[in-house]
Structure 1
Amino acid sequence: MQTLTLTRATNLFSQHQDDRYLGLSNHRLCFLSVHPASPPPLLASKRHRLKLAFVAKAADSTQPSSATTSADKTLVPDDEFTLAKVSFGVIGLGLGISLLSYGFGAYFSIFPGSEWSALMLTYGFPLAVIGMALKYAELKPVPCLTYSDAQSLRETCATPILKQVRNDVIRFRYGDEQHLDEALKRIFQYGLGGGIPRRSAPVLQMIREEVTEDGKYCLVLVFEAKALKLSDFEKRQEKFTSFFGPGITAEVGKGESENLYEVRLISNTSPNLSSS
């Protein structure tokens, strides 16, 4: 059933509005409006319940996906203290200079303990020299970015060589010109036929631990090479695989910046096989 209501209303528009839209002025208008009968209370309540249930279901379906995405790419802070992060050059130089300073001060009676001045001078001088030598030959560790999902797979899926490479480049080294010097020398064949000049050798800038799309552990080596191109890395991709193998597959790609190149060392060990 529908009800008809006859409504009389006065003109609410001004003179120029009436002329623009209606073409009428100072006339009373009659509006005939048709109002449907109000639905039964039962149907109205069902309509509201269906709408609320749809909104709640849509909200629930969007929340788990965002939480999973943020958890997969969480960086693990490198705040663990180890002896590998300590510079022996700084320690030796600091102890040597401290002993020399106090020894000279005690010898000239500026500080107490003049009877120990000769001993402090005797040990302070070689410690200072050794500290300066270590500081000169020091090779600082490179930054390491580790994602939480890769950290959980490192012990079970990473090969012993990948673990050794990671541990070697994140600690202080002494006497080496650069990190992975022996590996790069064999792969790029410095000064040999088909090789590159040593001055054009790539320099390791950082490493990154991540998980591939198929769930395998991957150690990414990021090199800076201003004199090389991507093709120089691509034609040595098999050499990267054979040197850092067995049990890995090497992939070469372009880095984020112009002179950066990435070598991805992917472990062939599947997480499912290692867990079983």
Structure 2
Amino acid sequence: MVTMPGVATVYSGHRFHCLPLLSHSTRPQLTNSTHSPLVSVHPHSISCFQTKLFFKSNNRFSVTLTRAADSSTTTTSQSSNVPKDGLTLIPDDEVSITKVSFGTIGLSLGVSLLSYGFGAYFNILPGSEWSAIMLTYGFPLAIIGMALKYAELKPVPCLTYSDAYKLQEKCATDILKQVKSDVTRYRYGDEQHLEEALKRIFQYGLGAGIPRRSAPILQMIREEVTQDGKYSLVLVFEAKALKLSDFEQRQAKFTSFFGPGITAEVGKGEKDLYEVRLISNTDPNATSS
């Protein structure tokens, strides 16, 4: 802020106005009967107002305070995250034991029992009379937890749009519901999700098939509605060694394996991603009537 001599600075929020100071000879004399008293305004009380100055005759001016636009409201409206096409995502907040990692539970519990058991055994921690029991159960729990953690296959993320959420109960087939349940929970011993389905569809190691090392890997799934209003479950695979033609040649196999009652469509996504859309043939209008 730069203040010039002979100039008064009037603040108003983030704005300021410079006014020339009146000399003693030209200042209007205020009387109790004809002029309003001077009002002292604290700077914080006008931080959300804009000041308008209106000059009148005889070097007098009036100050008018008008409320400024609420910056928080403007920022919120401009930065509001509106999903594409006005659709919202339904969070997957369902509580299920299948979404809990047994490997993490077993390993954490086993290590805790072993740690406390050794501490109690050497009289570092209280409870020496229970140290033998904690060591006896802690060791196998830790081993089992490490084994489950090694063989653990984490669930893939699932994006469910609001319009598909309304149709999934009445339009999704039993197989589509089972596919969603299988890939969105922890699995143990499987190398990848939908391993049996991909093995039959791509025929690993056979003459018309692909090498197992080139097998597509499921990255995520989506529940959405097609343009003609049908429910679909989209499987998004990553396949660096495959082409779109490899999926197109097996489009009928996707339909037959995940059927009946569905139609499979394949498409190319970003980079090395490919999408297999399993569309339910159930008419939502006929079902709701």
Which TM bucket (shorter chain)?
0.7 to 0.9
Please give the alpha-carbon distance, in whole angstroms, between the structure 2 residues aligned to 1:182 and 1:121: 40
Please give the alpha-carbon distance, in whole angstroms, between the structure 2 residues aligned to 1:70 and 1:229: 30
Q: Residue 78 of structure 1: CA displacement? A: 2.3
Indicate which of 264, 278, 281 corresponds to 1:265.
278
Q: Residue 274 of structure 1: CA displacement? A: 1.5
1:186 aligns with 2:179: no
RCO higher in structure (CA 8 A, sep ≥6): 1
1:127 aligns with 2:146: no
Q: Residue 230 of structure 1: CA displacement? A: 0.3
Please give the alpha-carbon distance, in whole angstroms, between the structure 1 residues aligned to 2:132 and 2:91: 46
Q: Secondary structure at the match of 2:90?
A: coil
Q: Secondary structure at the match of 2:89?
A: coil
Q: Secondary structure at the match of 1:209?
A: strand
**TM-superposition CA deviations, 1:92-123 (whole Å, max 9, x none):** 00000000011111111111111111111110
Query: In structure 2, what is the equivalent of residue 158 of structure 1?
Result: 172
Query: In structure 1, what is the equivalent of residue 222 of structure 2?
Result: 208
Query: In structure 2, what is the equivalent of residue 230 of structure 1?
Result: 244
Q: Residue 84 of structure 1: CA displacement? A: 2.1
Query: In structure 1, what is the equivalent of residue 28 of structure 2?
Result: none
Q: Residue 193 of structure 1: CA displacement? A: 1.2
What code does the residue aligned with 1:203 have?
A: I
Count of matched residue pairs = 208
Q: TM-score, normalised by structure 2?
A: 0.70
1:74 aligns with 2:98: no
Please give the alpha-carbon distance, in whole angstroms, between the structure 2 residues aligned to 1:199 and 1:133: 24
**TM-superposition CA deviations, 1:131-189 (whole Å, max 9, x none):** 00000001011111100110110000000000000011011111000000000000000
**TM-superposition CA deviations, 1:170-227 (whole Å, max 9, x none):** 1111100000000000000000110000000000000000001111100000000000
Please give the alpha-carbon distance, in whole angstroms, between the structure 2 residues aligned to 1:163 and 1:75: 18
Q: Identity across aligned pairs (percent)?
A: 81
Q: Secondary structure at the match of 1:106?
A: helix
Please give the alpha-carbon distance, in whole angstroms, between the structure 1 residues aligned to 2:156 and 2:223: 13
The structure whose residues are more often helix, as a share, is 1
Query: In structure 2, what is the equivalent of residue 85 of structure 1?
Result: 99
Please give the alpha-carbon distance, in whole angstroms, between the structure 1 residues aligned to 2:130 and 2:98: 33
Please give the alpha-carbon distance, in whole angstroms, between the structure 2 residues aligned to 1:267 and 1:238: 15
Structure index of larger Rg: 1
The unaligned stretches of length 5 or more in structure 2 are: 1-81
Q: CA RMSD in A?
A: 1.5
What code does the residue aligned with 2:132 have?
A: A
1:167 aligns with 2:175: no
**TM-superposition CA deviations, 1:77-101 (whole Å, max 9, x none):** 2233322221110000000000001
Please give the alpha-carbon distance, in whole angstroms, between the structure 1 residues aligned to 2:128 and 2:271: 61
